[in-house]
Each structure stands twice: as C-alpha cells, then as structure tokens.
Structure 1
Amino acid sequence: MARREIEITISEPGDDYGKTFHIRRMSAWDADRWGRRVIYALLQSQVEIEDLDIEQGIAGLVGRGLELLAYIPPETADALFDALTDCVFRRPDPRHPGVEVPLRPDDIEDALTIAILREAVFRLHTDFFSGVQRLFSPDGKATSDMGAEDAPKPAA
C-alpha cells in the first residue's frame, strides 16, 4: 500500500496564491521517530502541559496540534519543522502535475503559506488517529468495542 499523499493549492490571497504543493506522508518508522522526538523535547522542556498524555505517544499529540512545539526550544522545534517540511514538494508547473521538486525556502514568499503547509503535513500524519481516538478512554487506556452494558465496572 502506498503512503498517503495530498495536494494543496494555496487559495489564500497573497504572494503564493495559486501555487501547488504535494505532500507525501513519512514512513511509519520516520513518523514514529518524529513523534518520539516531539514527546522527548516536551519532557525536556519541563513545562506542565495540561491534558497531554505522553503514554499515548503521537496519538496523544493529535488533539493539541502544532502549538505544542511552542513549548520546545527554537533550535529543537526548527529541526522538527524541517522533518515535516521534507514531506513537501513544489509542483512548479500546473501543466505538468507529475513534476515535483523538493521544497526550498525560496519557493515560499508568504509566511501564511508556511503555516498552511505545516498544518497540512501535521494533519496528514495524525488524521488517522482521529478515527481511533474513541478507542482511548479519558484515562488513556485502550477500550474495546463492546457495549456499555458489557464493559467492566470500576472497582468500588
């Protein structure tokens, strides 16, 4: 099975309006490594982050999004953002949609485009968790698909 891919065409007014970008999801191995690096950096930041369950790994990052990287020192956050950016390719000519080139800093002229692409890459890597988040109870433990009447009762 091929990795998921999406195409983003910038529709926001600005210098990048109409530019098309292709985003290809990292391998599961690289995505896991990226998620662990985020979690490790968050732990090293020693900032108490409410409602973050480190035990869930990258799944615990899903509901929080990229704002978590604000808790991480800039040099570490930059490396994490660079890993996401490595998933983005520029499609320079709409007449040849199969042609893509690695994204370079000069390809983007509007800061809003950076935010749009980062959010899209993050969502591409984490959206599959939204479908399984219901498998996790509020205490972070996996639950089954049994009915409420069949679920174990808490000990008194």
Structure 2
Amino acid sequence: MKKIAILNGPNLDRLGKREPEIYGHTTLADLEASLRAEFAATTSLDFFQSNHEGALIDKIAALADAKFDGIVINGAALTHTSVALRDALAGAHLPTVEVHISNIYKREEFRHTSLTAPVSLAVISGLGLEGYFAAVRFLLKR
C-alpha cells in the first residue's frame, strides 16, 4: 500500500469559514474524511496542516526519512514566498504535486508565481477540492 502525505499550509485550517466565495464551505476535516473514504483501499494517507513554515519543513523531512511514496501539498501563501519550503521539497526527493483550490492565475498577480512548482511533478490549480483527489490519483499511478 502506498503512503501519501497531504500537506496544507497557512489558513487552510479555516476552510469552510474563510472566504467561502473562493474556497467553498467544505472544512478541512470534511476534505480529509472524503479523501480517506475514496482511497482507503489503495493508499495510506497522512494529513498535516500548519500555519507555520518551519513545521511544514520539519514534516517534509520526516516524510522523506519515513520513505513516503509522495506528497500532495497546498502550501497556500508560502507557495509564493518560501524558498525554504521549496528547498525542503527539493531535498526530500519525493514525488510532489502542488495543489491550489482556486485558480491562482485569476487572482492577484503575486499569486501567479510559485516557488515550489519547479520542484513539483505537477501543479493543479482551480479545480476546487477535486484537485486533491486528482493529485492522489496521479501519484498512485506512478
């Protein structure tokens, strides 16, 4: 059974409450439950969310040491600002798919640049929460 981590960055703990016109009404707990239900037979999913850059970086290192099979990451605002997050992903040598709930290219210009995309196998943007499911499916086929 493959082991895939789902990492969520700053403010994603506020899903369902924060800007529902952009991110919807589904909570992070609802998303996690749906992903577990969908993939329980094919993969072991590990979920982690933090509003702190260092905690995400520590988690990525731990996933690499535990020999996970892949990472789905929504780095949120850190996607656009964190060289440290980018370096952690690059150094982990794990297949990674970057996910964004909204279409970052339809939003503010500063969101159009992703520092983590160049070290990811793929980027999914604008599919809503379905992007997480697509990312897991993609990693399961690798």
Q: TM-score range by the shorter chain?
A: under 0.3
| Higher relative strand content | 2
Q: Which entry has the higher C-alpha Rg, 1 or 2?
A: 1
Q: Structure 1 length normalisation: TM-score?
A: 0.25
